[in-house]
Amino acid sequence: MTTATAAVYDPQLPGGASAVAASARQVTKAYGSGETKVTALDAVDVDIQRGRFTAIMGPSGSGKSTLMHCLAGLDTVSGGRIWIGDTEITGLKDKQLTRLRRDKIGFIFQAFNLLPTLNALENITLPMDIAGRKPDQAWLDQVVETVGLAGRLKHRPTQLSGGQQQRVAVARALAARPEIIFGDEPTGNLDSRAGAEVLTFLRRSVDELGQTMVMVTHDPVAAGYADRVLFLADGLIVDEMHAPTADSVLERMRRFDGKRTS
Amino acid sequence: MLLKTSLRSFFAHKGRMALSLIAVVLSVAFVSGTLVFSNTATSTFDKLFAATASDVAVQPPKPAEDEEQQAAVRPPTVPVAVAGQVASVPGVKQAVGQVMVQNATLVNPATNKLVGPTSGAPTMLGNWTETPRTPVTITSGHAPQGAGELVLDADTAKKAKLGLGDKVRVENSGGKHDFTIAGIATFTTTNPGAALGFLDTPTAQQVLLGEAAYTSVEAFGDGSRGNDQLKADTVAKVGGGYQVKTAAEQKEENTKQIGSGLDFMKYAMLGFAFVSAIVGGFLIINTFSMLVAQRTREIGLLRAIGGSRRQVNRSVLVEALILGVLGSTLGVAAGLGVAVGLIKLMNAIGMDLKAADLQIGPDVFVAGYALGIVVTLVAAWVPARRASRISPMAALRDHGTPAEAKANLVRTVVGLLLTAGGGALLVLGGQSEKAATGGQYLGLGVVLTLVGFVVLGPLLASAVVRVLGAVLPAVFGPSGKLAQRNAMRNPRRTGATAAALMIGLALVIASSVFSSSAVTSASAQIDKSVGVDYIVQGGRTEVTPEMLDIVRRTPGIDHVTTQKFFPAKLGLPDGQSAKNQLTAVPPAFFGSDFHPSLDSGTAASIEQGSLGIGAVFAKDHNLKVGDRVTVDYGRGRTQTLPVGAVFAKGELFGDGSFVAMDTMAQVVPAAEQPPVWTFFAKASAGTDVARTLTALQDGLKEYPQLVVKDQAGYKELVQSQINTLLYLIYGLVALSITVAVLGVVNTLALSVVERTREIGLLRAIGLSRRQLRRMIRLESVVIAVFGAVLGSGLGLAWGVTVQRVLRDQGLGTLSVPTVTIAVTLVSSVVIGLVAALVPAFRAGRMNVLSAIATD
């Protein structure tokens, strides 16, 4: 599909194709116009490294979710360019975007990740089903093993706990071997134990399966599982942190609050 | 407060309510339209009769029951002298002798076409009289004078393109009589659609009655006495034998006659109303169930903050009440449109009703509102009860999505019992000896199986959709799989949605089984036992010897066969007597013309002076060949004959008896024999049947009232008669299917709203718009096909039972119209696709992000 719909990767961009899974250049997103114009993203440049776990943090309204939605091809941008792998997605039609999401991107949402009419296994293989592809059985087994769902594959979502449901969602995202997985507060609805479980799986999928992962969160503990944290404020990337811990992230976030109140 | 919530909620769901509203409006419109129409018609005719009835009418004595047939042939009369007697009754200003008959035909001799209505309203011929209350006045020309003049009513003249000076021919048992139109008479009141022709009195008596008499004497009072007094005095004067009727009594009688003519239409319309009310009921149940389901969290909150069950229940019912009142109001208004449409329809067939005189009585409003409100409230009752059972806990749950309703045990048991009971009744009905008993079992069986299927709907939905749906994933991939799961996730909803469609389609299938069996049976019967080549039907006037001669003389015709009917009484060996239709037939009848099957005896014995009887009659009265039966032809003409033949059940001529023409003529003088209405002709061996038919039609062209058919033509005639009935049923069904489609649209639209997040999720992980739309279309098709499968099953069971019940009433051969069934199933797919158009379009247009974010 890359030959038909993709733009050629711009070699002048930093990083090179092998190291970057997604990148944004001068991405702007604005709602409304004139007096009521709200800028959610203001000429953001970002590169997501392949095989790394990136967290995006920021206070409410900072544009962190918008950035993720734009990177994932769920939302359109007002200006700038975005690449997933070597495919430029800005300017793609709905049909092409849908195929891109189907074949190259995995999603984990905060809640309501699964179709209630399908059992766990059917939910996991759904993206491949939609694409009309056969899942790679060995890989599927490995993924199911990794997220620890082997005994529950025939269960319907209503028969699973919240943590189990999110693990199914993780498995679904992993099973199709996407270039990149986006998580939108994937642990936001879970208690701390179930949340820690899911985050551990995400971490393992990066370490053991070499998956690229981008996660939006407002929870410093969750961000502590990442390799790198991007901090957004008012539509701009204002800081980043490598090898974060929960405490260091919390500390950094406090400075936002302090700046805002002052 | 309660009302305010209900009102707000009602208007918040306008779109959904609109669909239910249409269903209510349709059924109320049919009921109120029918009432307005029949009120209008009745009042119009009341006025007509009030304006034209004499104060007191003296009519011939009522014929004894067994002489009705003869009475219809020769119009009964009153002697001329009675007019004089009535005139001398005190208080009578004028007594007019009237001649008015319906057994003659008007023909335009220039074109050999019938003048006047060919069906429905009668052609009436009589004498021109000057009375204070005549329905017509002469608007051009003059009153008929002498043997050659006739006055024709203006509407008929216009339709037949006849004017003053044109020739018109009267044909009746007395032969052909030519007249010149001397005057045109115009109705002063509503023209009920009849054709009227007037002659002068002596001519009318001679041509129409063949004797100097009247068909009635009409008396007009001078106002000094009441009609009841006049009637009493008249009865005293002319004697008790005559029927004497006051204006009020005449009006009542006439209204009843007209009324029975309009009844058919009335019942058809009420059938429409009934069907749309039932189907609409399902739509309303579904709408409110969905609204309640959607608002589970809201209702839970209401309960959590202290709302009582009663209040919740009531808030739903109040919403239904608003729907009912609004729907009824619109329905009554639309009903006026229906009434005007019906009036236009009547105008088209010649009945001159005025749309401007619409009679809208209080009964229209009472019936319209009662129907609309009762249907809505009854239908909303179940969802309202369900709403009141929602626990306050529902407010605390994560999503407002309803728990998936599963078919429960009680429902299953009740449904199975009803269906099994209904099925058993159908089987019983199909096996019963008598059609009447079978019909009762059939009716009850139909109701029970229908209700049983509706109750079992959810259970069947899980089962049937699973089977149907097994194909979908294989053919349509992921969209098919998702569609199948979606159709199964709420079996109750799927069941109720499909039930509406099921009813309509069951009716289609059952009536097509009936009609196709009727057509096949008729032609099988004709092929098997009819040897004659042509049938000539006389219409309203009797067949004259002249017509028979023309047929006999036509080259290629071997012979002509007539038959004469008697409503006879048969005296049985045990001393009892039983009525039976008796047909006197010539030797050729059983010789070469008809070959009925016999249980015992020989058909030839009839020619030798024996009686042939039907199998059922023989069984009922314990008769066998050799028993002696006394035949009473009426008017005291009797003879005793041995039974010589017993015809098999379900034969062409029903369960009637047969006697040879010669045997009958031994006791019934020619003058008392009934005329021939229908006769048959057989072509000589080796004749070209089709060419001879043309020759026959050509020879009889001066008698446009005759219908000449060969066997093929007769089969077509039977088929077209059956089809006419079928079209009415199809109209009914089209209506119910329309409402059912609204139901499917409704269900899908709500499902799409309910599953917004799911749709968002599917789109996010890569389901294309096309796949999404296909998923919704397939779900719709699954629901529709499910309804069609149930409907076809029910319809087949009903249709086959109808055939079994009527197997001896001319429906001997079962014919299952496979083409119709196939078309029904295929069109259910189309119905599904059509219903999914809008919901699928809307789902496809959803924004992925906001769909995911929906609460």
Give the pLDDT band of residue B134 (cuts 50, 70, 90). Answer: confident
How far apart CA B168 and CA B170 sit, in angstroms, is: 7
How far apart CA B241 and CA A169 sit, in angstroms, is: 98
Clarify whether residues B21 and B8 are in a common domain: yes
Query: Which pLDDT tens digit goes with each residue over B825-838?
Result: 898 899 899 989 88
DSSP B245: E
Say whether B708 sits in a helix, a strand or coil.
strand
Q: Which two tokens stand for residue B469?
A: 């749906």
First to last CA, chain A: 51
Name B708's bridge partners: B536
Q: Over chain B, what is the mean pLDDT? A: 83
The number of distinct structural domains making up chain B is 4
Q: What is the DSSP string of chain A?
A: -HHHHPPPP-TTSTT-TTTEEEEEEEEEEEES-GGG-EEEEEEEEEEEETT-EEEEE-STTSSHHHHHHHHTTSS--SEEEEEETTEE-TT--HHHHHHHHHHHEEEE-SS--S-TTS-HHHHHHHHHHHHT----HHHHHHHHHHHT-GGGTT--GGGS-HHHHHHHHHHHHHHT--SEEEEESTTTTS-HHHHHHHHHHHHHHHHHH---EEEE-S-HHHHTTSSEEEEEETTEEEEEEES--HHHHHHHHHHHHHHHH-
In a domain, B767, yes or no: yes
**Higher-confidence residue: A94 or B796?**
B796
Q: Tell me which chain B residues have a C-beta less than 8 angstroms from the C-beta of A180.
A: none
Sequence-ordered list of residues with C-beta below 8 angstroms from that of B301, at least 6 positions apart, any chain? B392, B395
Flag if B765 and A102 touch (Cβ within 8 Å). Answer: yes
Q: Tell me which chain B residues have a C-beta less than 8 angstroms from the C-beta of A103.
A: 766
Mean pLDDT of B35-46: 81
Clarify whether residues B706 and B684 are in a common domain: yes
3-state SS of B79-115?
EHHHHHHHHCCCCEEEEEEECEECCCEEEECCCCEEE
Flag if A130 and B489 touch (Cβ within 8 Å). Answer: no
Q: Tell me which chain B residues have a C-beta less than 8 angstroms from the C-beta of A130.
A: 478, 762, 765-768, 771
Q: Which amino acid is at B288?
A: F
pLDDT for position B351: 67
Clarify whether residues B501 and B553 are in a common domain: no
How far apart CA B736 and CA B729 sit, in angstroms, is: 11
Scanning the structure block, which residue is given the tokens 């409304």? A32
Angle at the Cα of B366 from the Cα atoms of B360 and B368, rounded to 5 degrees: 80
Residue that terminates a domain, selected from B206, B241, B276: B241
* CATH architecture of the domain with range A50-75+92-261: 3-Layer(aba) Sandwich (3.40)
DSSP B13: T
How far apart CA B591 and CA B588 sit, in angstroms, is: 5
Order of strands, sheet of B216-221, starting from the edge strand that comes earlier in the sequence: B92-98, B216-221, B56-59, B243-246
Q: Which amino acid is at B582?
A: L
User: Residue A132's closest chain B neighbor by CA?
Assistant: B477
How far apart CA B361 and CA B36 sit, in angstroms, is: 8
pLDDT for position B1: 54
Q: Let me know: does B265 contact B342? Beta carbons within 8 Å.
A: yes
Q: Tell me which chain B residues have a C-beta less than 8 angstroms from the C-beta of A118.
A: 482, 485
Q: Tell me which chain A residues have a C-beta less than 8 angstroms from the C-beta of B398.
A: 111
Flag if B763 and A107 touch (Cβ within 8 Å). Answer: no
Tabulate helix, strand, coil % of chain B (nearest 5). 60, 15, 25
Sequence-ordered list of residues with C-beta below 8 angstroms from that of B398, at least 6 positions apart, any chain? A111
In a domain, B661, yes or no: yes
- Chain-centre distance of CA B382, in angstroms? 34
Residue that terminates a domain, selected from B385, B403, B421: B403
How far apart CA B170 and CA B163 sit, in angstroms, is: 16
Query: Which pLDDT tens digit goes with each residue over B680-691?
Result: 888 888 888 888
CB atoms within 10 A of CB B323: 27
Nearest to B16 by CA among B751, B733, B840: B751
**Domain of residue B617, residue span:** 534-711
Q: Let me know: does B835 contact B784? Beta carbons within 8 Å.
A: yes
CB atoms within 10 A of CB B225: 17
- Return the half-sphere exposure (C-beta side, CA atoms, 13 A cut-off) of residue B728: 15
**CB-closest option in A98, A117, A130 to B489:** A117
pLDDT for position B395: 63
How far apart CA B744 and CA B735 sit, in angstroms, is: 15
Flag if B478 and A112 touch (Cβ within 8 Å). Answer: no
How far apart CA A164 and CA A170 sit, in angstroms, is: 10
Say whether B324 sits in a helix, a strand or coil.
helix
Q: Which two tokens stand for residue B7?
A: 């009102």
Interface of chain A toward chain B, CB-CB under 8 angstroms: 69, 74-75, 94-95, 98-99, 101-103, 106-107, 109, 111-113, 115-118, 122, 126-127, 129-132, 172
Name B628's bridge partners: B642
Q: Which two tokens stand for residue B694?
A: 């043309």
Residue B497's alpha-carbon distances to B67, B310, B385, B454, B484, in angstroms, are 56, 28, 20, 10, 15
Flag if B761 and A103 touch (Cβ within 8 Å). Answer: no
Nearest to B379 by CA among B512, B228, B277: B277
User: Would you put residue A146 in left (φ > 0), alpha (ψ -120 to 50) or beta?
Assistant: alpha
Give the pLDDT band of residue B150 (cuts 50, 70, 90). Answer: very high
How far apart CA B88 and CA A10 sit, in angstroms, is: 122
pTM over 0.80, yes/no: no
Residue A16's alpha-carbon distances to A11, A21, A23, A86, A104, in angstroms, are 7, 10, 11, 10, 18
Buried b (16+ CB within 10 A) or exposed e, A202-233: beebbeeeebbbbbbbbbbbbbbbbbbbbbbb
User: Residue B60 pLDDT more than 60?
Assistant: yes
**Higher-confidence residue: B462 or B293?**
B462
Clarify whether residues B233 and B250 are in a common domain: no
Supply the ipTM of this predicted assembly.
0.83
User: Residue B402's closest chain A neighbor by CA?
Assistant: A116
CB pairs A-B closer than 8 Å? 70
**Domain boundaries, given as residue ranges, for chain A:** 50-75+92-261
**The residue count for chain B:** 855
Clarify whether residues B687 and B720 are in a common domain: no
* Bridging pattern class, strands B577-585 and B564-571: antiparallel
Sequence-ordered list of residues with C-beta below 8 angstroms from that of A207, at least 6 positions apart, any chain? none
Query: Which pLDDT tens digit goes with each residue over B174-203?
Result: 888 999 999 999 888 777 677 889 999 999
| pLDDT tens digit at each of 262 positions of chain A | 333 333 334 444 444 445 888 999 999 988 877 777 888 888 889 999 999 999 999 888 888 888 998 998 888 888 899 999 888 988 888 888 888 888 889 888 887 788 888 889 989 988 888 888 888 888 888 888 877 888 888 998 888 888 888 889 988 988 888 889 999 888 888 888 888 888 988 898 898 888 899 999 988 999 999 999 999 988 888 888 888 888 888 888 887 765 544 3
In a domain, B447, yes or no: no
Mutation test of the interface with chain A: which of B465, B494, B765, choosing the one with the most A Cβ atoms within 10 A?
A: B765
Flag if A74 and B399 touch (Cβ within 8 Å). Answer: no
**CB-closest option in A69, A112, A130 to B766:** A130
Give the pLDDT band of residue B419 (cuts 50, 70, 90). Answer: very high
How far apart CA B330 and CA B741 sit, in angstroms, is: 21
Q: Which two tokens stand for residue B854?
A: 């929906």
Q: Does B398 touch chain A (CB under 8 A)?
A: yes
Residue that terminates a domain, selected from B198, B215, B241: B241
Flag if B765 and A112 touch (Cβ within 8 Å). Answer: no
Clarify whether residues B160 and B128 are in a common domain: yes
Backbone φ and ψ of A113, nearest 5°: -90, -20
B683 burial (CB, 10 Å; 0-12 / 13-18 / 19+) is buried
pLDDT for position B350: 64
Sequence-ordered list of residues with C-beta below 8 angstroms from that of B625, at least 6 positions apart, any chain? B600, B601, B642, B643, B644, B645, B646
**CB-closest option in B477, B758, B771 to A115:** B758
pLDDT for position B404: 45
pLDDT for position A2: 36
Q: Does B555 touch chain A (CB under 8 A)?
A: no
Q: Does B481 touch chain A (CB under 8 A)?
A: yes
Scanning the structure block, which residue is given the tokens 């209080």? B362
In a domain, B408, yes or no: no
Q: What is the DSSP string of B535-591?
A: EEE-TTSPBPHHHHHHHHHSTTEEEEE--EEEEEEEE-TTS-EEEEEEEEE-HHIII
Clarify whether residues B650 and B584 are in a common domain: yes
**CB-closest option in A107, A116, A130 to B767:** A130
Q: Which two tokens stand for residue A180?
A: 């990149």
pLDDT for position A7: 38
pLDDT for position A259: 54
Mean pLDDT of B671-688: 84
How far apart CA A207 and CA B282 sit, in angstroms, is: 57
In a domain, B627, yes or no: yes
Backbone φ and ψ of A119, nearest 5°: -80, 180
User: Residue A65's closest chain B neighbor by CA?
Assistant: B849
- Chain-centre distance of CA B102, in angstroms? 25
How far apart CA B259 and CA B276 sit, in angstroms, is: 25
**CB-closest option in B399, B757, B766 to A127:** B766
Clarify whether residues B497 and B487 are in a common domain: yes
